[in-house]
């Protein structure tokens, strides 16, 4: 069984925390090793947050005590030791220049994938798949770089079902599309730091319409999570100036694969028919 991510637990409740509790939560996320290994008094001195506030945070996160929170942090840190050492090995560049950059980038991606595999809530993952499978329609929205990921996933799912659509990032189509959502629909949002304002507001509006909301992001502090029925914080670390989408793509493709595997329909026949129509339309190069 994978160890539950402390960040996942915090993300689910972050929107309802007070300013002081958010400060404590941010410190816990940013300093997992210190929380796991140092006393509460020492953590309080380093963070300028009172011990009582950390204790209140633990209760707000539904732990029996701060010590229970600390124990989960220890387990998560322990589970990550191999991952961190592997990442360090990957980042040891053999030399300067492009080869070293490749090692750094691939090493970061491998670390993100390892963290995703170890830390994701498998029960929540299955719940997300079930909601997507039962939905009358799935509407995807990704602003900026996330838009391309949404397009990729919609392309894959349209081989097996025609009710996944990508909402345009322009103003009128998004507003009009949100108005059509019902409690039978799922609104799936992909957003990374810095978070698109429209992604946050659209998630809130979709929930107000009664639709199920599914958010894929990169931090417990993402404001869209407070409007999410299901949220995933996907590792997106990168040595570059941009966030990495490798782990996010892996998660999205896993969702599609799980939908296919548990479908009661003849998925192979659907895919065959789509491929046949592609061939008749001459969509792909043929000698």
Query: How does pLDDT run across 164-205, given as a tens digit for each residue?
Result: 999 975 555 888 999 999 999 999 999 998 899 999 999 999
Mean pLDDT computed over every residue of the chain: 85
Note the pLDDT of residue 275: 79
Name the residue with higher pLDDT: 161 or 146. 146
**pLDDT beyond 70 at 21:** yes
**Mean of the pLDDT values across residues 88-110?**
69
pLDDT band at 97 (very low <50, low <70, confident <90, very high): low
Backbone torsions φ then ψ of 223, nearest 5 degrees: -65, -20
**Spacing of C-alpha 115 from chain mean position:** 12
pLDDT tens digit sequence for 37-70: 788 988 898 889 999 999 999 999 999 999 999 8
260 contacts: CB under 8 Å, gap ≥ 6: 160, 267
Which of 198, 240, 200 lies closest to 217, judged by CA?
A: 200
Asked if pLDDT for residue 29 goes beyond 90, the answer is no
Question: 85-89, 152-156, 253-257: which has the minimum mean pLDDT?
Answer: 85-89
- Judge residue 20's burial from the number of C-beta atoms within 10 Å of its C-beta, 0-12 exposed, 13-18 middle, 19 or more buried: middle
pLDDT of 93 strictly over 50: no
Q: What is the pLDDT of residue 131?
A: 96
- Give 115 or 253, the one with higher predicted confidence: 253
The token pair that represents 42 in the structure block: 């020492």
- Please say if the pLDDT value at position 213 is more than 60: yes
Task: Report yes or no: 38 and 109 within 8 Å, Cβ to Cβ.
Answer: no
Q: Are strands 164-166 and 137-142 parallel, antiparallel or unpaired?
A: parallel
What's the rounded Cα separation, in Å, for the pair 138 and 189? 11
Within 13 Å, how many C-alpha atoms sit on residue 66's CB side?
Answer: 19
CA angle 110, 146, 119 (to 5 degrees): 40
* Structural domains of the chain, ranges and CATH numbers in brackets: 6-119 (1.10.10.10), 122-274 (3.40.50.10490)
Q: Give the pLDDT confidence score for residue 158 in this predicted structure.
A: 84
Helices (H), the chain: 6-13, 19-30, 32-37, 40-47, 51-60, 66-90, 98-119, 122-134, 146-157, 171-179, 197-208, 246-261, 267-281
For residue 32, count other CB atoms closer than 10 A to its CB: 16
Instruction: Map residue 259 onto helix, strand or coil.
Output: helix
The residue written with tokens 């499978």 in the block is: 133
User: What is the pTM for the complete model shown?
Assistant: 0.73
In the chain, % of residues over pLDDT 90: 46
* Greater pLDDT, 269 or 174: 174
């Amino acid at each position: 069984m994978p160890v539950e991510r402390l960040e996942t637990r915090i993300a689910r409740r972050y929107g309802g925390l007070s300013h002081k509790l958010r400060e404590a939560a941010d410190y816990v996320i940013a300093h997992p090793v210190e929380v796991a290994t140092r006393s509460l008094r020492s953590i309080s001195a380093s963070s300028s947050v009172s011990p009582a506030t950390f204790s209140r945070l633990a209760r707000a996160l539904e732990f029996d005590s701060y010590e229970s929170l600390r124990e989960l942090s220890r387990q998560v840190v322990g589970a990550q030791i191999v991952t961190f050492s592997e990442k360090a090995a990957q980042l040891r560049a053999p030399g300067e220049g492009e080869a070293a950059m490749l090692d750094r980038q691939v090493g970061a991606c491998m670390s993100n994938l390892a963290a995703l595999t170890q830390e994701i809530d498998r029960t929540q993952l299955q719940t997300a798949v079930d909601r997507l499978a039962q939905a009358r329609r799935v509407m995807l929205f990704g602003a900026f770089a996330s838009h391309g990921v949404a397009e990729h996933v919609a392309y894959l799912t349209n081989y097996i079902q025609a009710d996944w659509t990508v909402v345009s990032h322009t103003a009128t189509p998004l507003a009009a599309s949100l108005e059509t959502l019902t409690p039978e629909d799922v609104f799936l949002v992909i957003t990374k730091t810095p978070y698109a304002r429209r992604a946050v507001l659209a998630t809130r509006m979709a929930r107000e319409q009664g639709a199920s909301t599914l958010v894929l992001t990169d931090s417990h502090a993402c404001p869209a999570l407070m409007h999410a029925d299901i949220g995933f914080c996907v590792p997106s670390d990168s040595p570059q100036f941009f966030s990495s989408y490798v782990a996010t793509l892996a998660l999205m493709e896993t969702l599609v694969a799980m939908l296919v595997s548990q479908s009661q329909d003849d998925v192979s026949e659907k895919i065959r028919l789509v491929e046949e129509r592609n061939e008749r339309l001459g969509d792909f190069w043929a000698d």
